[in-house]
Structure 1
Amino acid sequence: MTWTLDSVYDRNKEAPYTFYLPSPPMLKLLQVGDLVKLIFLSDEEHEQFIGERMWVEIVERNEVIFKGLLRNIPSYITELSYGQEIQFTYEHICDTKLEDPEASKWDYYLDTKIVMTRDVLEKRSFNLMLKDEPNEENHLGWIFFSGYEPEGYNGDLDNYQVVSLGVALNIDDSFLAFVEDEPFSAYERDTETGKFNKMIDYDWG
């Protein structure tokens, strides 16, 4: 079995609102003795295994290259062991023990909830947005539809899923312009321009 370090930049590019990146000022503050978290990938497939996130203690660094010692015991990757020397760069650091002021925006994207039909999640596209009265703390009241749900689909509660706001923003962050709208707001995407238009006469009954 061989292992590699995952690129946090690539992961963040795929999910910019749900995959946290330590801010550059925090990374610049890292010094010998600090702990950083890296994602270790294996070329061997394991059920429910995407990668092992493990802490590494920095023992040496220059402007771009770090050396560290693994401070976790791997669960899957047998070629790694506690105390093993690891060489890495900024590209591999997914978390630190430092207090990062920038982390709060990811907390908001992850902790704030909206509702999507499962059709939206499958198609990774939404074309209708409705804002109802939120009935739970940290819930915005927004409901997203693909616009292609079959007849009778929307009447089945099993076809809906509560997800993080960041999930919607990863699909289309133009929604940020409307996120704070008052309840009983409705928007439909214009198929020609791709932009959302407010529906003044939406039938909430």
Structure 2
Amino acid sequence: MKVAFETSPSFRLHDPRPTQKENPYTFHLPSEEELAEVGIGTIVKLIFSAVPESEQYDAERMWVIVERRDGSNLLGRLDNTPEDIPALTLGDPVEFKIHHIVGIDWDDPELQMRFSNDFNKWFGRCFVDDAVLERRARVGYVYREDSEHEEEDKYPDTGWRIRADVEQLSQEEYDDTPCSYVAIGAVLNRDDSFVHLLSEPVGSRFLRTQGDSYERCQEEE
């Protein structure tokens, strides 16, 4: 009987905690309170990778039905058919730790309601200098203008525009740095010094001071 815990000759389970630590605004994990409710019959999502590494997929996220729990140690059965992990099949038993869980499918409406969150708010889009995304410069200036995209977009434009700190780049770099249209959470993962400003209205402009505070600039007419 194939049973895998963290690694096996056929696959390994990812520990998602380092990824979440690096990307707190865009990589959501269940809270400790949620994990405490996981028990027999709960359907949880884990991240698997083939061993040796698959040429088609870096990883596959799949559901597992919990059959046994002993503290932080769990045993379940795979509830998906892997795309490219040949030695793993639907119904196989999988041993894992509570920290391997990246998602929970709550059958109980009460639990589903209790653990609902507004994590998607960090996926609204913005324009940002690539120098910020590449960690070559901190955020130096932020302003909000009318959205350029349709409201029906799954993740609409927030209107926020984020510029790099000119003091950390040459004038040529600052003038020529490309920008990207990304989730605002991707910017906050690099520099969240302006997160408290995100509820400010269209027309708002803020310049970063020497520290991490921001001064409001005169709004353009």
- Work out whether the TM-score is over 0.5: yes
Whether 1:117 and 2:117 are equivalent positions in the alignment is no
Unmatched 5+ residue regions in structure 1? none
Partner of 1:185: 204
* Counterpart selection for 2:140 from 127, 130, 133: 127
Partner of 2:31: 23
Partner of 2:162: 144
Unmatched 5+ residue regions in structure 2? 1-8, 107-111
* Counterpart selection for 1:81 from 78, 89, 114: 89
* Counterpart selection for 1:61 from 60, 64, 69: 69
Partner of 2:176: 153
Does structure 2 retain, via aligned residues, the 8 Å contact 1:20–1:103?
no
Query: Given the superposition, is the C-alpha separation of residues 38 and 187 from structure 1 closer, same or farther in structure 2, using an over 3 Å criterion?
Result: same
- 2:161 alignment partner AA: I
Does structure 1 retain, via aligned residues, the 8 Å contact 2:10–2:88?
no
- 1:161 alignment partner AA: S
Q: Please, what TM-score do these two structures have when normalized by structure 2?
A: 0.76
Query: Given the superposition, is the C-alpha separation of residues 71 and 20 from structure 1 closer, same or farther in structure 2, using an over 3 Å criterion?
Result: same
Residue 91 of structure 1, CA deviation: 0.5
What per-residue deviation string (whole Å, max 9, x for no partner) do you get for residues 57-110 of structure 1?
Answer: 111112211100111111122222221111112100001111264442212112
The percent identity for this pair of structures is: 27
- 1:18 alignment partner AA: T
SS in 2 for 1:181: coil
Residue 44 of structure 1, CA deviation: 3.6
Q: Distance in 2 between matches of 1:197 and 1:53?
A: 40
What per-residue deviation string (whole Å, max 9, x for no partner) do you get for residues 166-205 of structure 1?
Answer: 1122112221121112333333334x53x14325358x59
Does structure 2 retain, via aligned residues, the 8 Å contact 1:115–1:162?
yes
What per-residue deviation string (whole Å, max 9, x for no partner) do you get for residues 27-50 of structure 1?
Answer: 222221221100012354445633
* Counterpart selection for 2:194 from 175, 183, 200: 175
- 1:37 alignment partner AA: K
Query: Given the superposition, is the C-alpha separation of residues 6 and 151 from structure 1 closer, same or farther in structure 2, using an over 3 Å criterion?
Result: closer
Query: Given the superposition, is the C-alpha separation of residues 120 and 64 from structure 1 closer, same or farther in structure 2, using an over 3 Å criterion?
Result: same
Q: Distance in 1 between matches of 2:133 and 2:56?
A: 20
Query: Given the superposition, is the C-alpha separation of residues 120 and 103 from structure 1 closer, same or farther in structure 2, using an over 3 Å criterion?
Result: farther
Q: Distance in 2 between matches of 1:127 and 1:46?
A: 42
Q: Distance in 1 between matches of 2:185 and 2:53?
A: 28
RMSD: 2.6
SS in 1 for 2:102: strand
Query: Given the superposition, is the C-alpha separation of residues 65 and 108 from structure 1 closer, same or farther in structure 2, using an over 3 Å criterion?
Result: same
Does structure 1 retain, via aligned residues, the 8 Å contact 2:29–2:102?
yes
